[in-house]
Amino acid sequence: MTALPSRALISRSAFEHNLGVVRAKTDSKIMAIIKADGYGHGAVRIAQWAWEDGVEWLGLAQLSEGVWLRRQHPHGRVFSWIYSPGTDFVTPIELGMDISIGADWAIDEIAAAAREVGQPVRVHIKVDTGMARGGFDLDRLPEVLPRFKALADEGIFELVGLWSHLACGDMPSTSNYTEVQVAKFEQARMAVRDAGITVQLHHLAASSGVMWHPQTHYDMVRPGIMLYGLSPNPAEAYAHELGLRAVMQVEADLILARDVPAGTGVTYGHTYVTDKPTRLAVVPVGYADGIIRSSSNKATVTHRGRRAPIRGVVCMDQFVIEAPGAQAGDTVVLFGDANDGHETAERWAEIAGSIDFEIVCKIGERIPRISVD
């Protein structure tokens, strides 16, 4: 038992192991995706570990989080791709960040900011190969690429990369759409060459591409969820089957344990009623901490090496489990690594009708992250 009622243990050795899995899959450069505060693991922590393990590139979705990370972590390259009209582009340019451009208005605003700063901005041209979520359509490239070339010739843009994103990469057994996207990406590469533009990096693959589509690796890959020891799609393969180790283990210390008779209703609405004399215990985290309420009466935690089921609904700050022999102060593990015999974030996601990404990203700030090993 510690002085903290709950905590998320973040394992450096597991992170380094998962990075090794990436390197075993590809010889391409690696951009570690650490958006959303490192998928809830702590972006600065993960950035430092990645840098010390030889990863030069870091990816954070929102430009604002990229600026924040750049100020906290001065090493390597930081790449961001989400922002809105009227964004302050001067600051990320001054910080030497890499910025994606996939819209006409962004060309204008970012070029204006680069002129104001008086230094070229490092640009990655985004093309839409099938996500319908961002980037230039292929049929517009003959129109927009000359603008990029003119700005590069002027010394306003440094054209670093061409990139896109897979829509169905995590469905290798049920969809061949990745092949369609690869063909479109090849068309985009040819259009860039035909426009007289040379870029340093082509990148298309995220974790699913790293795992299942080697033809998408190109010059750089962008692993995200797999670095944290979770599967891009557990329906295809669970993390432990892919050789991954969970980086986050969420645990809490019981604050109360008590025996109740048969017929006892548990928490709001009495959605669970005991059918026999039962030992109940209270876990001091709830949906305000990111414990998904739809896991009520479904998920289990690990108590003294055994699975202990949630009884009743998950409340804002606490939930109740059935745990024979439990005592106040005992530690329970909500989820962690399957190899250690714990429930996993993947399993919580299945129970809650969600995905493992959401389970770890939603763990709230009241649960402190603690680096281990």
Residues marked active site are found at: 35, 268
Q: Return left, alpha or beta for 293; rule: phi > 0 is left, psi -120 to 50 is alpha, else beta.
A: alpha
- H helix or E strand, kind and range, residue 272: strand 272-273
CB 283 within 8 A of CB 319: yes
> Which among 166, 133, 145 has a CA at the least distance from the CA of 232?
166
The 3-state secondary structure of 86-107 reads: CCCCHHHHHCCCEEEECCHHHH
CB 116 within 8 A of CB 92: no
Three-state DSSP state, 127? strand
335 CB-contact burial (10 Å; exposed 0-12 / middle 13-18 / buried 19+): buried
Query: Quick one: CA dihedral 301, 302, 304, 305, positive or negative?
Result: positive
Side-chain-facing half-sphere of 106: CA atoms under 13 Å: 21
> Which among 163, 208, 200, 225 has a CA at the least distance from the CA of 33?
225
Q: What is the total residue count of the chain?
A: 373
How much of the chain is helix, strand and coil, in % rounded to 5? 35, 25, 40
Can you tell me the distance from the alpha carbon of 188 to that of 143, in angstroms, rounded to the nearest whole number?
13
Can you tell me the distance from the alpha carbon of 93 to that of 74, in angstroms, rounded to the nearest whole number?
14
Helix 43-52 × helix 63-72 angle, to 10°: 60
